[in-house]
Structure 1
């Protein structure tokens, strides 16, 4: 019996529509798994995420990347190889890799723990402080690892930042950022060119330290960080960029949480220069959308401009 081929897609929308119907691609995924001698008896599809993702039992995951997202495969594969054995925190291990019909794939180990997004909202405040400190420590640990081949990922930091600066005002206008914040963008972008280091030694940036991308585990009634996964958006650049996800989605303007995250990372309390740099980076992040991402109730009414907003997000 011949197995169907993986098709070619010209745009992400067509791929997403096809991916949403697993009956079209699951037989091919299982054939790939069998070609590596893997057991497919208890496989299951992960419906969320960007690529084709299939769990193979409780211990392995197959990720298949469409050619138009090959850059994510390059980032994921390079990051898992580069960080292997360098962190105190578990990350997936590559078991097998290959390509089918021009689609690269990875078979990786499945981590144990509970998805952060399932646990985070209900954690007591002291637990949130501790987890954020651990996240800050993990970001610092990742950034101490040598870049290796990840240094070659394009675009390079200075080109990426300049492109983001050029498109920043149009992006946030399109996304509906309130006029009172848009008014301060020109001043902030002028500052950004000097407050964001463009040619400092780059470090590994994961890009998205958010609850959907890490696992938590409970020991002795205390929740702790238990695993980190999803390295498809890795780039090389200035270290502060990776503070944005946990700042927006998790610290949410709580002074204790902000302090825990920054101290774990190795910073003292935020001064104006750090807040200004983080505000600029938040507006320039590759996925930036303040209306969707700042998890502070009523923040649009609590801040009158971008300077007040940075004080609200990184409260002392």
Structure 2
């Protein structure tokens, strides 16, 4: 959505406390770091951080800027608008939880955080590596499988972090699913979902009813593990997954399959061996392939974020399908 016309004289030192959705989008889309620099410098001074602004980071919807110390150590500051302030609270808690745990892959270390005019900000220490999305299509099949296996081991450890219902991240999963059954069709229609897939939306979820797992186990779920949130590096032993970023959509629930949907859709990209490597490393036992497919597909349709038209175009083979059951084999290549 192009909303830049809403901004005339942008002053980051006077961020609006209650912007409309459109105005918040316009501010977040405003890329000129010189207009943000006075605010960032003030925040760094308030937190006793000797950091200078380098540039705006292009990836991500929230305004994020690369900062640098005198010794050239990289840091990042991210701003979250009042409209999505829950992401600030979610990412802050998730980063602290990951930092306190023993995980096989690095996550950003939170250096400072706070709120200004109802806008949240997070300052994190930079991680080594480059975005997987920048090179993923250049990787060999073996390298993609290796990344999937490493990601599976990371998820297994992250999902083992002890969690409580008192966490700000906690979501009553059955209540959430019930709400999604009522709201998802209208949301997908507003997004302009392709007509044949929209027509099959309600028939599919009605034919394959989903219920939350009957377990009291709780899992810290990143819920957005796509190549744009994964960092990799090359070494003597090949390519390795070295960082996981952007925990703004993190949650705590009793449904670990919600994590699996994103990996199947956006990392496997229709490749059976890649998806199988993730599931095997995650130690997920596929007892009933049909039930698993139905659960993954239904969770994807009911998901509260994302645009399904993107998946139709992104995952090879789906564009030629006419309904969700035909698309399952490409979206989740088990």
CA–CA distance in 2 between the matches of 1:289 and 1:67? 23
2:25 match: 16
- The correspondence for 2:121, drawn from 64, 88, 105, is 105
The SS at the match of 1:193 is coil
Moved more, 178-187 or 107-116: 178-187
> Could you say what secondary structure the match of 1:81 adopts?
helix
Post-superposition offset of 1:148: 4.3
Match of 2:93 among 63, 78, 81: 78
Q: Give the deviation of 1:74 after TM superposition.
A: 0.5
Determine if contact 2:180/2:304 at 8 Å carries over to the other structure: yes
Decide which moves more: 97-106 or 200-209.
97-106
Paired residue for 1:193?
210
TM-score by length of 2: 0.84
State the Cα RMSD in Å.
Answer: 2.4
Is the Cα–Cα contact under 8 Å of residues 136 and 262 in structure 1 kept in the other structure? yes
In the alignment, the residues of structure 2 paired with residue 248 and residue 98 of structure 1 have an alpha-carbon distance, to the nearest angstrom, of 34
* SS of the residue 1:4 aligns to: helix
How far is the alpha carbon of 1:39 from its aligned partner? 2.5
After superposition, the Cα gap between the structure-2 partners of 1:39 and 1:103, relative to the gap in structure 1 and judged at 3 Å, is: same
User: Which of these residues, 250, 260, 263, is aligned with residue 246 of structure 1?
Assistant: 263
Q: Deviations along 1:94-140, whole A, 9 cap, x unmatched? A: 12223333333222111110111112111011000110111122122
Q: Which residue, out of 285, 290, 307, partners 2:325?
A: 307
* Residue of structure 2 in register with 1:65 after alignment: 80
Question: Which residue among 94, 102, 106 is the counterpart of 2:110?
Answer: 94
Instruction: For 1:155 and 1:15, locate their aligned partners in 2 and report how far apart those are by CA, in whole Å.
Output: 26
Deviations 1:178-235 (A, max 9, x none): 42663363342453334x4276533111110001111001111611110011111111
Deviates more, 1:262-271 or 1:181-190: 181-190
**Aligned to 2:233, which of 217, 220, 230?**
217
Q: Are 2:3 and 1:5 equivalent residues in the alignment?
A: no
What residue number does 2:9 align with? none
Q: Secondary structure at the match of 1:33?
A: helix
Secondary structure of the 2:291 match is helix
Whether 1:130 and 2:146 are equivalent positions in the alignment is yes
1:296 pairs, out of 315, 318, 333, with: 315
Match of 1:27?
A: 38
Residues of 2 paired with 1:296 and 1:158: CA distance?
29
Q: Which moved more, 1:292-301 or 1:213-222?
A: 292-301
Q: How many equivalent pairs are there?
A: 312
Please identify, of 273-282 and 219-228, the stretch whose mean Cα deviation from structure 2 is larger. 219-228
Classify the secondary structure of the residue corresponding to 2:208. helix
Give the secondary-structure state (helix, strand or coil) at the position aligned to 1:151.
Answer: coil
* 2:284 corresponds to 1:273: no
SS in 2 for 1:282: helix
Task: Give the TM-score, by structure 1 length.
Answer: 0.89
Q: Is the 8 A contact 2:53 2:65 kept in 1?
A: no
Q: Which residue of 2 aligns with 1:48?
A: 59
Deviation string, structure 1 residues 72-98 (Cα, Å, up to 9, x no partner): 110011001111142121111112223
Q: Distance in 2 between matches of 1:300 and 1:111?
A: 36
Structure 1 runs of 4+ aligned residues shifted over 4 Å read: none
